[in-house]
Structure 1
Amino acid sequence: MKHLIIGTAGHVDHGKTMLVKALTGIDTDRLKEEKERGISIELGFASLTLPGGRHAAIVDVPGHERFIKTMLAGASGIDIVLLIIAADEGVMPQTREHLDIIRLLHINQGIVVITKTDLVEEDWLELVQEEIKDFISDTVLKDVPIVKVSAATGYNIQELLEQINILAEVAKEKSTAGQPRLPIDRIFSITGFGTVVTGTMVSGQLKVGDEIEVFPEELKARVRSLQVHGKSVDLARAGQRVAVNLSGLEVEQISRGNVLALSETLTASFRLDVRFMLLKDAGKELKHRSRIRLYTGTIEVLGRIIYFDREELKPGEWAYGQIQLEEAVATAKGDRFVVRSYSPMHTIGGGTIIDATASKHKRYRQEIIDRMVILERGTPDEIIEQYLAGIFIPAHINELVKATGLSEIQVKEALTELKNKQRVKFIDEKSGYVVSVYRYQSWTLDIQKLLSQFHREFPLREGYPKEELRSRKFKNLNPKIFQLILTELKNDQIIKIQPQTVATFAYEIQPDAEQQKMLELIEKTFIQAQFQPPGWEQLATELKIINELKQELLQYLLRQGSLIKIADDMYFHRDILNKGRQMLSDYFKNKEEISIGEIRDLLTTSRKYAMPLLEYFDRHRFTRRIGDLRVIGKELDSGIKPEN
């Protein structure tokens, strides 16, 4: 194993720090107060080279009850635990609580170390050893070695190193797959370097130059340099104790409990879906909505426990539930956590995070429990399908990696399988967005129903406004993803898309007989009016067009290009405009310029219409203004017809 984290645990003043010094030569009591009081207050760290040549980091954690939260921070990422019990005192209260924490964090590899053997007689030592065997008999450490040592005399220190080396050989190496994540346990500043944070890498790899964020505050920075075991490196891996020199952040901006990760790879949340177990020796049942203290990674935060299927949890029982937090935290699926009672404080339980960005759930719903079971224990296919079933918008592959705790490779392989089974739908495969087939089919039916109803109510309109559709059916989507969905629906021949509207795929504007008759009469009126057309409101009144239909008819004629808007409330028929363009073209064959009076006479109209017409011709480059006159324009000269 390349990277190993060894952690100490045990009651205050049982010799943890002295043992670490005997093993490594390093005194991890670094604070003046620690020296004066003879106990560890803060986390201490030391590097160790094992007899087999492998490197390890030892985390020396405080044992005093007041500093239990610091111990919990140090326990994050431990591979092998040294449960330290002093020969002159035996098992004590913090010994029991630390062992509970070891169990809750699933630290299964360890050694029980009996320290201070030089202070007791042999017969007393045998009694203490028997007490310890009984103490650990029904715990995760029941089969671990028990080594008797004296840090003061050096007795059996080499034997302890050999036992640690044996465990190191068989311990599983942490996977470097997934996104890099570093729960921060120390923050300090070094002159000439700036802000440095330390922690144990729990996943992934971190490189010098990486753009990172500190969550949940979402503070952006860059990795300036890295150190592992006091040596500069370009790459840090999961399982290593790492010091990260950050560029762009001050010490005051960061706190223990923050998490360092690549930009946009974590999402802070006030709710965590969990599998929670109440310890047998918790003392009493824990009621629904009890206030608790949650510890995970290096985080300590207050919250309330919510049960989905009961009103209380009895000691020794477990349940699916949710922890509603008083502050947002950045965690990941699969993270272990410990719960302590609010007051008085003692460890009462813990468990596993199943959904790190959970939403609020209704209680006593079997489908919620079923979902939790799949998210916790299901195959990658099942986990992704379950996740997609619970959301209402497309999910990006990166989001699935964050939400499910699966690697990017696992997610992509599972999506390929689900696609082949027609269980998921890619919304433009290159974009990386997917949705469940059920959700996509639901959208299809809803949109077809909405559009069909719209076409019946407004048969003269080309389609439903895009933005209105987005705000009504997809209000949580940004325009880019919304457009991807529309394109996919178009490719599947569900809809057709115009610049501003959408319609059902087979829809064609089809005026009814009465509407068609009215449209023909309107066009005829505008053609007969030549270059002195009626105002629309005036014509609608004369033709007795009802208000509900008045704008529908006008907009239809404009979209069809039969009428063209020249100015406010001034419309000309397309054929008349083409006629006017041709008359101008013929005029310019004999003359080089035309005045407004001459164009008025040429088109047999009045100044009221002649001026807007000339401005229209100017805009479309049929004519070009020089002073108060017009000359032939480029488009007119080329014979291009006016735009409809």
Structure 2
Amino acid sequence: MTGVDTDRLKEEKERGISIELGFASLTLPSGRSAGIVDVPGHERFIKNMLAGAGGFDLVLLVIAADEGVMPQTREHLDIIQLLQVKKGVVVLTKCDLVDEEWLGLVKEDVSDFLKDTVLADAPVITVSAVTGEGIPLLLEAIDRIAEETQPRVSIGLPRLPVDRVFSITGFGTVVTGTLNSGSLHTGEVVEVQPQGLTSRVRSIQVHGQKVDEAQAGQRVAVNLAGLEVEQIERGSVVVGPKGVIPSTRLDVRLLLLESAVRTLKNRARVRFYLGTRETLGRVVLLDREELAPGSLAYAQIELEEATVASKGDRFVIRSYSPMRTIGGGTVIDPLPRRKHKRFRQDVLGALETRERGTPSEILEHYLQGSPDLPVPAVVAAGTGLQEKEVEEAAAELARDNKIKQITGEGKTYLISIDVYTRWADQIKDLLASYHSEFPLREGYPKEELRSRRFQAINNKAFQLLLLEMERDGFLLVMPQSVALKSFKPGPDHNLDTTIQRIRGMMKEAVFQPPSWTDLTKSAGLSEASGAELLQFLLRTGELVKITEDLYFLKVILDEAKEKVIGYLREKGEITVGEVRDLLQTSRKYALPLLEYFDREKLTRRVGDKRLPGRAI
């Protein structure tokens, strides 16, 4: 059809078979362009076939007229069924090698083979690559079906599963694949997942032509800046920034093929294929111990390596050994937060909602299990919804008072009303316990509360959450802490008596106060209780810190200030010795006091003397 030999490898040319994926482009009679992925037919290379099949919009199922339906043909059709490629043409090749009678028998066999499959109504075209017979009819059939095929959606974030990666001298690393969704633009910043690499699209080619933009459904070659070939592999996915989150766990609806030779037991190890990626994993059946051939079940796939998925993605599983295609299905949740408990009706019900629910139902369910405050883009990555769908669903649920939209610093965070109320109750209980244990503290430190109880929420989002709860009257938010609205920090009767005693000792000592350590020992306080009381008195302003372990009552300190200021106004200067005599204290206290007054700009030091500062 194209005149392009897609077999690149020496072994392929020597053996006359396709081993790796081959690529070519084709201009159909209508002028429409098509990208062709030639996948291996041999059963030993089904793994490579699966890497190319994920991007198909329509399929050409090639069957040799001289051989008829072979075991690998059956496996390929199973894969087409599992991936739900519903458009296609059946091509009977090598018709020049058989007579009409044999060809008729093969067509009957093929018709029976395709009955009750996605290709049951596909046209069957007889061709010969040697004589060219049937090729024009085949091109017309492809063109006709291509016109009927629904184009892929170019909205949302781009997603390009990589099927080939190589380097071109002078250009660097190039990846190819079929753009599943969105669009790619030259100069755009992208990520390569699950490796977590960031790059920029240096240039794009579609069907060998340089373009500035690639649309969903096109075969694309992308030149990525700043990355080495060794950093990327087949199975990697090029996506928009923060478009997906890799996961080692997927919730799925799983079908075991009728052709499977045995049941699939819980925790069976399988080979898992999604997009262009192959990885090993285990199937956790959620409502049974084993899955019978031809049966469907909800399951969780535990993968040995992270993969990238979206809700609705189709996948295939093959038995670990021997390698045979045994089933596949649909991704329901690409980012489940936890391992599911088996045989739980609530788990199965939730999966059914995720599978069949409306965007509003999916969003509501997602938020009810969310450990943080996600923004719409994160919800989209975790649910497979488009970001616009999430925003529209959020607005609807907010109107129905089922979720809250908390906005700040240019972002909108989403939270279920049920989760919000539960968290508010938890925080109020924590605050009540904290106030009881630390009655002198103004409140629970915000960062300590977040890091101990709400680690999944980033600091900015947590601050906005607390402010929302303050607006709703649940609590009081201060710069560094949070408290119940009804709470007033202060001592109980016993502690108040202790404070009176300490206050009396400090007043009696006047300008020679004992150290705080000595004061608390004399008052019978433990070191911890003394530290709590000290912070309370400092915060309320009754005590003022002069130096480490030297504190003055504010009323006494004010008296010292008045005396020093009066002396300076009269004399114009003062020395440490004069302060000592003025306050009838010792140098041990006079010097720290003067240094404190220096810091407060009441005095300024000039040599051994102090002159009036700016604050006088």
TM-score (normalizing by structure 2): 0.96
| Whole-Å separation in 1 of the counterparts to 2:357 and 2:403 | 17
Partner letter of residue 409 of structure 1? K
User: Does the CA contact (< 8 Å) of 1:115 and 1:149 recur in 2?
Assistant: yes
Q: How many residues align?
A: 614
What is the correspondence of 1:246-285 to structure 2 with a 5 Å cutoff?
A: 246-285=224-263
Q: Distance in 2 between matches of 1:286 and 1:137?
A: 26
Give 1:544 shift: 4.5
- Is 1:90 matched with 2:92? no
Deviation at 1:546?
A: 6.5
How far apart in 2 are the matches of 1:531 and 1:614?
A: 13
By how many angstroms is 1:441 displaced?
0.6
Post-superposition offset of 1:460 = 2.3
Paired residues of 1:226 and 1:245 also in contact (CA < 8 A): yes
Show the counterpart of 1:136: 114
Query: Counterpart of 1:230 in structure 2: which amino acid?
Result: G
Within the candidate set 132, 139, 156, 1:161 is matched to 139
Cα distance in 2, alignment partners of residues 27 and 551 from structure 1: 82
Q: How much has 1:586 moved relative to structure 2?
A: 1.7
Query: Residue 293 of structure 1 aligns to a residue in which SS?
Result: strand
2: CA distance, partners of 1:58 / 1:472: 55
Aligned to 2:368: 389
What's the secondary structure of 1:432's corresponding residue? Answer: strand
- Partner of 1:589, secondary structure, is helix
Partner AA of 1:47 in structure 2: S
Take 2:558 and 2:52, find their aligned partners in 1: how far apart are those partners?
Answer: 84
2:352 is equivalent to residue 373 of structure 1? yes
- Is 2:310 the counterpart of 1:332? yes
- Residue identity matched to 1:370: G
The residue correspondences of 1:110-509 to structure 2 (distance < 5 A) are: 110-358=88-336, 359-428=338-407, 430-509=410-489
Quote the Cα distance in structure 1 between the aligned partners of 2:298 and 2:460.
37
Kindly state the Cα deviation for residue 548 of structure 1 after the two structures are TM-superposed: 6.7
Between the aligned partners of 1:253 and 1:561, the Cα distance in structure 2 is: 60
Query: Cα gap change, 1:295/1:548 in structure 2, threshold over 3 Å: closer, same or farther?
Result: closer
Q: 1:556 & 1:155 partners in 2: Cα distance?
A: 95
The aligned residue for residue 11 of structure 2 is 33
TM-superposed deviation, 1:294: 0.8
Q: Distance in 2 between matches of 1:396 and 1:578?
A: 53
SS of the residue corresponding to residue 280 of structure 2 reads strand
Shift of residue 524 of structure 1?
4.1
Distance of 2:137 and 2:515 partners within structure 1: 104
Distance in 2 separating the partners of 1:498 and 1:605? 40
- Describe the superposition over 1:147-193 as per-residue Cα deviations: whole angstroms up to 9, x where unpaired: 11122111121111111111111110100122111111111111221
Shift of 1:510: 4.2
* Aligned residues of 1:523 and 1:562 also touching (Cα < 8 A): no
Mapped contact 2:512–2:585 kept (Cα < 8 A): yes
Percent identity, aligned pairs only, is 56
Match of residue 534, structure 1, among 514, 517, 521:
514
Are 1:54 and 2:32 matched, yes or no? Answer: yes
Q: Offset at 1:298?
A: 0.7
CA distance in 2: counterparts of 1:43 and 1:539, whole angstroms:
83
Unaligned stretches of 5+ residues in structure 1: 1-22, 638-644
Q: 2:596 is matched with which residue?
A: 616
Aligned to 2:611: 631
- Structure 2 distance, partners of 1:550, 1:26, is 86
CA contact (8 A) 1:340 1:346 kept: yes
- 1:189–1:566: structure 2 CA closer, same or farther, 3 Å change rule? same
Separation in 2 of the partners of 1:244 and 1:539? 74
| Separation (CA, whole Å) in 1 of partners of 2:224 and 2:516 | 68
Aligned-partner residue type, residue 257 of structure 2: L
The letter of the residue matching 1:307 is L
In the alignment, is the contact (CA less than 8 A) between 2:443 and 2:482 conserved in 1?
Answer: yes
Asked whether the 8 Å contact 2:29–2:143 carries over to 1, the reply is: yes
Distance 1:261 1:554 in 2: 56
User: Structure 1 CA distance, aligned partners of 2:39 and 2:522?
Assistant: 92
Letter in 2 for 1:399: V
- Asked if the contact 1:357/1:403 (under 8 Å) is kept, the reply is yes
Indicate conservation of the 8 Å contact 1:112/1:145, yes or no: yes
Q: 1:581 to 1:353 in 2, by over 3 A?
A: same
8 Å CA contact retained: 1:428, 1:488: no
Q: In the alignment, what sits opposite 1:5? A: none
Aligned to 1:580: 560
- What's the CA shift for 1:545? 4.9
Match in the other structure for 1:561:
541
> Which 10-residue stretch deviates more, 521-530 or 294-303?
521-530
> Aligned letter for 1:579?
E
Deviations 1:471-508 (A, max 9, x none): 33112333223222222222222222233322102212
- Cα gap change, 1:625 to 1:335, in 2 (>3 Å): same
Q: SS state of the match for residue 570, structure 2? A: coil
Q: 1:523-544, CA deviations, whole angstroms, 9 ceiling, x for partnerless residues?
A: 3443343212233333344444
**What CA distance in whole angstroms lies between the structure 1 residues aligned with 2:48 and 2:240?**
25
Structure 1 residue 357, shift from structure 2 partner: 2.0
- More displaced, 545-554 or 340-349? 545-554
Q: TM-score, normalised by structure 1?
A: 0.92
Distance 2:496 2:455 in 1: 37
SS at match of 1:588: helix
Name the CA distance, whole Å, in 2 between partners of 1:590 and 1:548. Answer: 45
Q: 1:597 to 1:206 in 2, by over 3 A?
A: same
Give the whole-Å Cα distance in 1 for the aligned partners of 2:74 and 2:487. Answer: 74
Superposition deviation, residue 448 in structure 1: 0.9
Shift of 1:630: 0.9
Aligned partners of 1:543, 1:331: CA distance in 2, in Å? 66
